[in-house]
Amino acid sequence: MENEINAEVTQNDNNTKEQNNEEMAGIVGELNNLKKENEGLKKQLDEYENMLKRAMADYDNYKKRVEREREDIQRYSNEKLIIDLLPIIDNMERAIESFKDNETFKDYYDGMRIVLNQLYKVLEKYDVKEIQALGEEFNPYLHHAIAQVEDDEHKSNTVVEVLLKGYTLKDKVIRPSLVKVAK
């Protein structure tokens, strides 16, 4: 009888061990699955963090670009008006030049000279400057060459004649000088 009890106890112990082993195997398997799931979630989190960083960088660049554009709009808001005024100034300069030595038109000359000086002051107020060209080395960013001429007095690639004045608005060329350049 004692042997039967011992055998039954041993059997129960074995069954319990087997159940515990099965439970442990299940827990280990579930733990491995959770680890894999955790690794997958970490990778996904890394991807989302990278996407967020890129989105924040894009937004920061967008804000900077918009700010630059806003500054440019303010900075060059008068550009079109000034460009439209330049031909008027050109014509006034030509008229003054033609009246210069004629006593008959001296009053016209003086009056136009006063108006032209007022226009120059307006240009100066808005930081519009004439591009210096005559005698300067040709610069394709500032000058637009319409002819090359033989000239023994100047070095090659020197501006020898200005046909139309060029202007800058702040740091931007709004009209290049039309020039003739020595060969």
Interval 35-70: pLDDT, tens = 999 999 999 999 999 999 999 999 999 999 999 999
Please tell me the pTM assigned to this model: 0.67
| Burial annotation 16-46 (CB, 10 A radius, 16+ → b, else e) | eeeeeeeeeeeeeeeeeeeeeeeeeeeeeee
Per-residue pLDDT of 113-141, as tens digits, reads: 999 999 999 999 999 999 999 999 999 99
176 pLDDT more than 80: yes
Q: Which residue has the higher pLDDT, 53 or 4?
A: 53
